[in-house]
Structure 1
Amino acid sequence: MDRFKGQPRLPKFAVPKSYDIRLKPDLVHCRFAGSVAVNLDIVAATSFIVLNAAELSINGDFVSFTNRDSSKVLKPSSIELFQEDEILVLEFPDTLPLGLGVLSIQFEGTLNDRMKGFYRSTYEHNGEKKNMAVTQFEPADARRCFPCWDEPACKAIFKITLDVPSELIALSNMPIVEEKIDGTLKTVSYQESPIMSTYLVAVVVGLFDYVEDHTSDGIKVRVYCQVDKANQGKFALDVAVRTLELYKDYFACPYSLPKLDMIAIPDFAAGAMENYGLVTYRETALLYDDQHSAAANKQGIICLSISFYSLISLTLFVQVENMSSDY
Structure 2
Amino acid sequence: MATNVLAASRYEVVNEGDSVEVRQMPDLPAPEPEERQENTFFSDAPPLEISPLWGPAQLAEAYTSAVRGEDRARVLNRLGELKPRDDRDLRGLLNLYAREEPAVRTKVEACLNRLGPGDSAMAPFFGALLQDEEPVFQIFGLIGAGRLRDPRLLELVRGLAEKEFEAPEPSLAQSPGMTNRWALQFNAVRLLAEWEGEKTLPLVFKRSKEVPSVGEIAATLFWEKALSELVSWSESRSAADQARASKAWAAPVSRERLTATKARLWELALDPRRKVETRHRAALKLGLCAEEADIDRLLVERGKASGQARALLDAGLLASRHPKGI
TM-score (norm 2): 0.28
Q: Which has the higher helix share?
A: 2
TM-score (norm 1): 0.27
Give the structure, 1 or 2, with the largest relative contact order (CA under 8 Å, sep 6 or more).
1
Q: Which has the higher strand share?
A: 1
Larger radius of gyration: 2
